[in-house]
C-alpha cells in the first residue's frame, strides 16, 4: 500500500510527532509499505508533488516544532472554483491522488482542512483526518493537538507581562489567538489569573469593562490583566456580519478590537493602559510533553485505522480514549465555548469578569 501525508493550514506544535507516529506504526505493521510526504499542504497535492519519507526523515522529530512537510492555506471556498476554464483545485487534487497511486491520504489540519478532506472523500479518495489547531475548535473531539502547548506559552507570556504591569501600575491587554473560539484565551486567562477574559462567544460591553477595572482599582489593586481573544467582539458589533465588523475596524486602522479597547480604557479610567499581541509565538517552538504524547497516540491510531481500511474519518479524543468521527458528520462544524458552561461559571465564581 502507498500512503500520503500532508499538513495543512496554520502550523502548531505536535505535527511532527503525528507524522512520526504514523510512519512508525505503518512500517512496523506492514512490509513493503510506501509513505510519501506531500509538501505545502493541499498546495502540494494540487501541484502533484510528493517525495518518499525515509526513516531518517521522521525518526527523531517528536520534539520538533512546526512541520517538516511545510504547510499552506488553501481556502475551502475556492476548491470548487474553475481556474482559467480548467479543472478546479478539487479535481486536480483527486487526479493527483490517483496519479500518485495513493491508497490513503492522511490530512493533518484544522476545521478548514477537515472540510476539504470531506470533499476528497466524496470524490472517492481514501482520507483520514487528524485534529490539529491551537484553537481547540474542531467539533467532535475533546482536545486538539497543539492546544496544550499554546496554552502553556500564552500562560507563561501573561505571567511575564504581569511583572511589568505591576512595576508600572498599568492595565495590560494581552491579545491571544482565537478568531471564532475562545478556548485558548479562556484556559490561559484562568491559568494566569487574569482579572478579565474577553472571548468571541461572549460579546462584551465597553461600559462593563471600564466599570469593572475602575472598581478593581478602587478596591486597592494597582494593576489589571485583561486576556483578549483576537476574535473578541463588542456587544454593539455582535449583530453585524463579519464583513461589516471588518469594515468598521479597517476604518479605525485596526484588525482586532484590542487596541481600540485599550484606548477607550485609558481615556475613561485615566489608568496607563498598554497592549501586547502574542501572535505567532503561540504556534511555534517545542511541543509540550502532553502534546507529544497526544499527537503520537492520534498518529498511531490513524495509522491503525488506515491498515484496517477505515477511511472517511478523523481521529478524535473522547475522555481518555482515542476514537474517530466520520468526516462528513463533523466537517464545517465548530466546537465553541459555552457562555453558560462549567468553566465559564467557575471563572465567574472566582471573580473573573467577561465584560458583561
**pLDDT digits over 102-155, tens only?**
999 999 999 999 999 999 999 999 999 999 999 999 999 999 999 999 999 999
Average pLDDT, integer, range 78-86: 85
Beta bridge partners of 353: 196
Is the CB of residue 183 less than 8 Å from the CB of residue 333?
Answer: no
CATH number belonging to domain 2-145+287-330? 3.40.50.450
Q: 2-145+287-330 and 148-283 share one CATH topology? A: yes
Q: What is the pLDDT of residue 319?
A: 94
Sign of CA dihedral 290, 294, 295, 297: positive
Secondary element (H or E) of residue 227: strand 224-229
Question: Is 270 a residue whose pLDDT tops 70?
Answer: yes
Question: Is 253 a residue whose pLDDT tops 80?
Answer: no
Q: What is the pLDDT of residue 120?
A: 97
Please tell me the distance from the alpha carbon of residue 28 to that of residue 31, in angstroms, as a whole number. Answer: 8
Q: What is the pLDDT of residue 245?
A: 65
What pTM was computed for the model?
A: 0.93
Q: Which of 142, 175, 181, 91 is nearest to 316 (CA)?
A: 142
**SS3 state of residue 210:** helix
Q: What is the pLDDT of residue 35?
A: 98
Question: Is 30 a residue whose pLDDT tops 80?
Answer: yes
Q: What is the pLDDT of residue 243?
A: 67
Is the CB of residue 176 less than 8 Å from the CB of residue 326?
Answer: no
Please tell me the distance from the alpha carbon of residue 300 to that of residue 17, in angstroms, as a whole number. Answer: 10
**SS3 state of residue 32:** coil
Sign of CA dihedral 30, 34, 39, 44: negative
Please tell me the distance from the alpha carbon of residue 262 to that of residue 62, in angstroms, as a whole number. Answer: 40
Q: Which of 144, 191, 162, 95 is nearest to 334 (CA)?
A: 144
Q: What are the angstrom distances between the C-alpha of 260 and each of 52, 110, 169, 240, 329? A: 49, 29, 20, 17, 39
**SS3 state of residue 333:** coil
- Could you list the active site residues? 135
Question: Is 8 a residue whose pLDDT tops 80?
Answer: yes
Q: What is the pLDDT of residue 81?
A: 86
Q: What is the pLDDT of residue 240?
A: 75
**pLDDT digits over 89-99, tens only?**
999 999 999 99
Q: What is the pLDDT of residue 179?
A: 93
User: How is the chain split into domains, by residue range?
Assistant: 2-145+287-330, 148-283
**SS3 state of residue 315:** strand
Superfamily, domain 148-283 = Phosphofructokinase domain (3.40.50.460)
Average pLDDT of the chain? 95
Is the CB of residue 139 less than 8 Å from the CB of residue 195?
Answer: no
Amino acid at each position: 500500500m502507498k500512503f500520503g501525508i500532508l499538513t495543512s493550514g496554520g502550523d502548531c506544535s505536535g505535527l511532527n510527532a503525528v507524522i512520526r507516529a504514523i510512519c512508525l506504526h505503518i512500517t512496523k505493521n506492514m512490509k513493503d509499505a510506501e509513505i510519501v510526504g506531500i509538501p505545502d499542504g493541499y498546495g502540494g497535492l494540487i501541484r502533484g508533488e510528493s517525495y518518499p519519507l525515509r526513516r531518517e526523515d521522521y525518526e527523531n522529530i517528536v520534539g520538533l516544532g512546526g512541520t517538516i512537510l511545510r504547510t499552506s492555506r488553501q481556502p475551502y471556498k475556492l476548491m470548487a472554483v474553475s481556474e482559467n476554464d480548467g479543472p478546479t483545485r478539487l479535481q486536480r487534487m483527486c487526479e493527483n491522488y490517483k496519479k500518485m497511486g495513493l491508497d490513503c491520504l492522511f490530512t493533518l489540519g484544522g476545521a478548514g482542512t477537515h472540510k476539504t478532506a470531506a470533499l476528497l472523500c466524496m470524490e472517492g479518495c481514501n482520507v483520514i483526518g487528524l485534529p490539529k489547531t491551537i484553537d481547540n475548535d474542531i467539533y467532535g473531539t475533546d482536545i486538539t493537538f497543539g492546544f496544550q502547548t499554546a496554552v502553556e506559552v500564552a500562560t507563561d507570556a501573561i505571567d511575564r507581562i504581569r511583572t511589568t504591569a505591576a512595576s508600572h501600575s498599568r492595565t495590560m491587554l494581552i491579545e491571544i489567538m482565537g478568531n471564532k473560539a475562545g478556548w485558548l484565551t479562556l484556559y490561559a486567562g484562568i491559568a494566569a489569573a487574569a482579572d478579565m477574559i474577553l472571548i468571541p462567544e461572549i460579546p462584551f460591553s465597553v461600559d462593563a469593562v471600564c466599570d469593572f477595572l475602575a472598581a478593581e482599582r478602587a478596591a486597592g489593586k494597582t494593576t489589571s490583566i485583561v486576556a483578549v481573544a483576537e476574535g473578541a467582539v463588542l456587544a454593539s458589533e455582535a449583530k453585524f456580519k463579519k464583513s461589516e465588523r471588518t469594515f468598521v475596524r479597517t476604518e479605525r486602522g485596526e484588525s482586532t478590537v484590542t487596541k481600540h479597547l485599550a484606548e477607550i480604557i485609558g481615556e475613561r479610567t485615566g489608568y496607563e493602559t498598554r497592549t501586547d499581541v502574542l501572535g505567532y509565538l503561540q504556534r511555534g517552538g517545542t511541543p509540550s510533553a502532553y502534546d507529544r504524547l497526544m499527537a503520537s497516540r492520534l498518529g498511531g491510531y490513524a495509522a491503525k485505522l488506515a491498515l484496517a481500511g477505515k477511511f472517511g474519518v478523523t481521529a478524535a479524543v473522547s475522555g481518555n480514549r482515542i476514537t474517530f468521527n466520520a468526516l462528513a458528520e463533523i466537517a464545517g462544524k465548530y466546537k465553541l465555548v459555552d457562555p453558560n458552561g462549567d468553566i465559564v461559571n467557575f471563572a465567574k465564581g472566582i471573580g473573573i469578569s467577561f465584560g458583561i
